Amino acid sequence: MSVTKTTHRIDLNGARSDVLHVGAPNVGDRAYFNRLVDQIFQRRWFTNDGCVVKELEEKLRSFLGVKHCIVVCNATVGLQLAFHALELTGEVILPSFTFVATPHAACWEGLTPVFADVKRDNHTICPDSVRSLITEQTSAIVGVHVWGNPCDTDAIESIARDHGLAVIYDAAHAFACGDQRRMIGNFGDCEVFSFHATKFFNTFEGGAIATNNDDLAARLTLMKNFGFAGMDHVIHLGTNAKMPEICAAMGLSMFPILEEIREKNRYNHQLYRAHLEGVKGLRLLTYDHLHQTNWQYVVIEIDEAEFGISRDSLVDRLHAQNVRARRYFYPGCHRMEPYGSMERNRKLDLPNTETLCRRVICLPTGTAIDEVDIDRICQIIRGY
Ligand code: T4K
């Protein structure tokens, strides 16, 4: 296949290393970041909803086309706040094929995560599986837009309407993604983004909760700052989920080069596709061309019988050559503690999840790698 060459102006910032990591951070416009940091020092205002956080929230709102976007210290705490603000009780249905932060956030809020299977094609939560798990105790469905692939939002929201359930999306992977109609950030009751260093858009650590619900936004805003409605005036249970100014500055400095990072990711993806085309027993996950994506994840599935060696042997081979490929998400949350010991999870039947946990590898991409690196990684995969 042919690969469209793009011109990149992205500054690697001396980030070259012999070790190639999945999740090596993208760096924003450093000169702009430094200017913002100087201003933060001049103002001596470091946190507590300063003007940089406010500006970031405004930018995010307008970028996502959403009414409210509340920035927080990370997505895990963002999910906890969302579950708490929506007054969830009992059981929440979520996929096992996700980062363990998703069930942990629910468990931390005293909820029981009930693990659903995922779809074989794009790895998002399977609506039929969700339907089969609903009980009297269910209060919400938590979809995960894994790898930036939008969940089947129509089906999930229709199930939720039928059963009076809340819908929250873990959009940790899905900043700047969307379906044919809307950007992610506009679905369900709310959506929670991660701005961790390893994500497409990063603030070192951070996250944001996007919602079009005014009441929910007001509650979340109170809750992230101890419930303060003004000086000495606490009107709600709260916690400390604030994002510091310096993290918000990093976020603002990502915007000027966001489209270049997206383009670099797309280019990398095309290169991988070209190099790995025709490799037996290897499937590169593609993105739906009708959807907007950030191309942040290069995900392959290894079918041991056809490929010749197991996924784990291939990971070992890559690691031995300093390519830190990752087995996201192995072994599946339902096999991790405290979930693995729970009686209901011992007999779980999640066939697609089991297959993916056995087969998936994430490969390095982003602005920290180039064509030579991708060529080398693909040669290792091909066994040269
Ligand atoms: N929901 C989902 C679906 C998620 O994937 C995540 C997080 C969350 C919720 C929770 O979001 P946050 O609360 O974090 O905002 C990493 C990240 O720490 C985690 O944020 C991410 N998902 C997860 C998929 O990956 P680990 O345990 O794999 O991290 P670690 O330290 O092994 O780093 C990952 C790779 O990135 C390594 O190969 C090294 C590289 N790296 C990492 C950092 C921090 C760098 O090159 N530079 C760096 O600064 O969890």
Residues 95-146 pLDDT 10s: 999 999 999 999 999 999 999 999 999 999 999 999 999 999 999 999 999 9
Region of residue 310 (left: phi > 0; alpha: psi -120 to 50; beta: else): beta
Looking at residue 294, its pLDDT comes to 97
In a domain, 11, yes or no: no
3-state secondary structure of 324: strand
Looking at residue 379, its pLDDT comes to 96
Nearest CA to ligand 1 atom 35: 23
Question: Same domain for 368 and 228?
Answer: no
Q: Select from 255, 276, 303 the last residue of a domain.
A: 255
- 290 neighbors 166 (Cβ within 8 angstroms): no
Please give the Cα distance from 253 to 28 (Å, whole number): 5
In a domain, 215, yes or no: yes
Question: Same domain for 217 and 69?
Answer: yes
> Would you say residue 2 has pLDDT above 70?
no
Question: Same domain for 98 and 190?
Answer: yes
In a domain, 141, yes or no: yes
At a CB cut-off of 8 Å and minimum separation 6, what does 368 contact?
A: 12, 15, 16, 17, 20, 21, 24, 25, 26
Domain that holds residue 82: 30-255
Question: Same domain for 161 and 122?
Answer: yes
What's the DSSP call for residue 148?
G
Question: Which tokens hold the place of 313?
Answer: 């042997």
Looking at residue 9, its pLDDT comes to 41
Please give the Cα distance from 170 to 11 (Å, whole number): 30
Question: Which tokens hold the place of 105?
Answer: 């956030």
Looking at residue 17, its pLDDT comes to 67
Beta bridge partners of 178: 183, 292
Q: What's the CATH code of the domain at 367? A: 3.90.1150.10
Task: Report residue 5's pLDDT band, with 50, 70 and 90 as the boundaries.
Answer: low
Question: Same domain for 133 and 245?
Answer: yes
Looking at residue 8, its pLDDT comes to 44
**CB 76 less than 6 A from any atom of ligand 1:** yes
In a domain, 21, yes or no: no
Question: Same domain for 48 and 106?
Answer: yes
Looking at residue 246, its pLDDT comes to 98
Looking at residue 347, its pLDDT comes to 87
Task: Report residue 220's pLDDT band, with 50, 70 and 90 as the boundaries.
Answer: very high
Q: What's the CATH code of the domain at 247? A: 3.40.640.10
- What would the DSSP string read from start to end of 163-227? HT-EEEEE-TT-TT-B-SS-BTTSSSSEEEEE--TTSSS--SS-EEEEES-HHHHHHHHHHTBTT
Q: What is the pLDDT of residues 285-314, one digit of tens each?
A: 999 888 999 999 999 999 999 999 999 999
CA quadruple 113, 194, 234, 217: dihedral sign: negative
Question: Same domain for 105 and 184?
Answer: yes
Please give the Cα distance from 43 to 29 (Å, whole number): 21
Question: Same domain for 199 and 326?
Answer: no
Question: Which tokens hold the place of 60?
Answer: 């995010």
- 168 neighbors 282 (Cβ within 8 angstroms): no
Question: Same domain for 154 and 270?
Answer: no
Ligand 1: nearest atom to the Cα of 77: 13
Ligand 1: nearest atom to the Cα of 24: 46
Number of domains in the chain: 2
Question: Same domain for 88 and 148?
Answer: yes
- Nearest Cα neighbor of 113 from 334, 343, 378, 377 is 334
Looking at residue 1, its pLDDT comes to 52
> Would you say residue 272 has pLDDT above 90?
yes
In a domain, 9, yes or no: no
Please give the Cα distance from 244 to 71 (Å, whole number): 10
**CB 327 less than 6 A from any atom of ligand 1:** no
- Give the chain's mean pLDDT: 95
Ligand 1: nearest atom to the Cα of 324: 38
Looking at residue 18, its pLDDT comes to 80
Q: What is the pLDDT of residues 324-366, one digit of tens each?
A: 999 999 999 999 999 999 999 988 999 999 999 999 999 999 9
> Would you say residue 6 has pLDDT above 70?
no
Looking at residue 151, its pLDDT comes to 98
Task: Report residue 7's pLDDT band, with 50, 70 and 90 as the boundaries.
Answer: very low
> Would you say residue 169 has pLDDT above 60?
yes
Q: Select from 208, 240, 255 the last residue of a domain.
A: 255
Kindly give the distance from the C-alpha atom of residue 134 to the centroid of ligand 1, in angstroms, as a whole number: 31
In a domain, 17, yes or no: no
Question: Same domain for 45 and 171?
Answer: yes
- 324 neighbors 364 (Cβ within 8 angstroms): yes
Q: What percent of the chain has pLDDT over 90?
A: 92
**CB 93 less than 6 A from any atom of ligand 1:** no
Question: Same domain for 236 and 357?
Answer: no
Q: Select from 226, 255, 284 the last residue of a domain.
A: 255
Question: Which tokens hold the place of 115?
Answer: 């693990």
Looking at residue 15, its pLDDT comes to 52
Nearest CA to ligand 1 atom 20: 196
Ligand 1: nearest atom to the Cα of 328: 24
